[in-house]
Structure 1
Amino acid sequence: MFSPTRALSGFSVDDLDAAKTFYGETLGLTVVDGEMGTLMITVPGGAELIVYPKADHQPASYTMLNFVVDDVEAAVDQLNKLGVRTKIYDDSGQEGDLNTDENGIMRGHGPEIAWFLDPAGNVLSVMGA
């Protein structure tokens, strides 16, 4: 019988040091060195992520990690002050019906959400609870 004790999600990056700085210092998450040259990130709520280096890394073009926040506007302001750009879509219609405002926040299509990139180009978001 299949009986896992926990599940971990993982993703690749092209620069482990840049990822450690971004996730640990910029975003303020708990980041520790893992086994076999990986990083282990713990996010609020206790979920764990494995980040591993990959020489031929291709950024995730989909939202691979969503951070749920109480106030998207405040989270976007904080990210922008930290140098994280949240307006990553140009609203040309190529990404569908995103229609984001000047700060990159999409409103009126479910929870408010704003997307941003990690240093490896992976798509992340902050979204309303």
Structure 2
Amino acid sequence: MLANRNAMATIAVKDLAAAKQFYGGTLGLTQQESGEEDVLTYQSGTAIVLVYVSQFAGTNQATSCTWSVGDEFDTIMKALKTKGVVFEHYDMPGMTLQGDAHVAGDFKGAWFKDPSGNILHILNQ
């Protein structure tokens, strides 16, 4: 039923102006016309990231959106850090922390938060 349909990330935020600066400026996503008040729509590869204002923004304690960045992982981490992104450090069984990256075998992952506290993730696969 949904196997051949595209999915999108839908992320609640507290402050639309701060979200616009973060998702468009810091992360470099391309903003699309949303046609709705209090909603920002971004293109990210072939996917859509929809950002909207909600009183419940930042209450999710799990990952809201993940980007698979392949071999560009280290380069993207450095670029995000240069733009002021602070990476989260978690105690994750089977993983070691190497700088700001969580590593297990060939896997590398890094988590960070947007201005509303939503947890975002990049990985090298």
**TM-score relative to the length of structure 1:** 0.79
Greater mean deviation of Cα atoms: 22-31 or 8-17: 8-17
Greater mean deviation of Cα atoms: 109-118 or 13-22: 109-118
Instruction: State the partner residue of 1:81.
Output: 82
Q: Contact 1:115–1:126 at 8 Å: present in 2 too? A: yes
- Output one character per residue of 1:88-127: Cα deviation in whole Å (capped at 9) or x when no partner: 12x5x4xx3243222x101125621011111111111110
RMSD: 2.4
Q: Contact 1:13–1:59 at 8 Å: present in 2 too? A: no
Gapped runs of 5+ residues in structure 2?
none
Q: Which has the higher contact order (CA 8 A, sep 6+)?
A: 2
The residue correspondences of 1:40-55 to structure 2 (distance < 5 A) are: 40-44=41-45, 46-55=46-55
- 2:123 maps to 1:122: no
The residue correspondences of 1:58-77 to structure 2 (distance < 5 A) are: 58-69=58-69, 70-77=71-78
Secondary structure in 1 aligned to 2:75?
A: helix
What amino acid sits opposite 2:11 in the alignment?
F
Q: For residue 72 of structure 1, report the CA deviation from its aligned partner.
A: 1.7
Q: For residue 10 of structure 1, report the CA deviation from its aligned partner.
A: 1.1
- 2:37 maps to 1:36: yes
Q: For residue 33 of structure 1, report the CA deviation from its aligned partner.
A: 5.0
What amino acid sits opposite 1:100 in the alignment?
L
Gapped runs of 5+ residues in structure 1?
none
**TM-score relative to the length of structure 2:** 0.82
Residue 112 to residue 6, structure 1, CA distance change in 2 (3 Å): closer
Q: Which has the larger strand fraction?
A: 2
Q: Deviating runs (4+, > 6 A) in structure 1?
A: none
Q: For residue 7 of structure 1, report the CA deviation from its aligned partner.
A: 4.1
What amino acid sits opposite 2:118 in the alignment?
N
Structure 1: how far apart are the matches of 2:7 and 2:104?
33
Structure 1: how far apart are the matches of 2:33 and 2:52?
10
Secondary structure in 2 aligned to 1:112?
A: strand
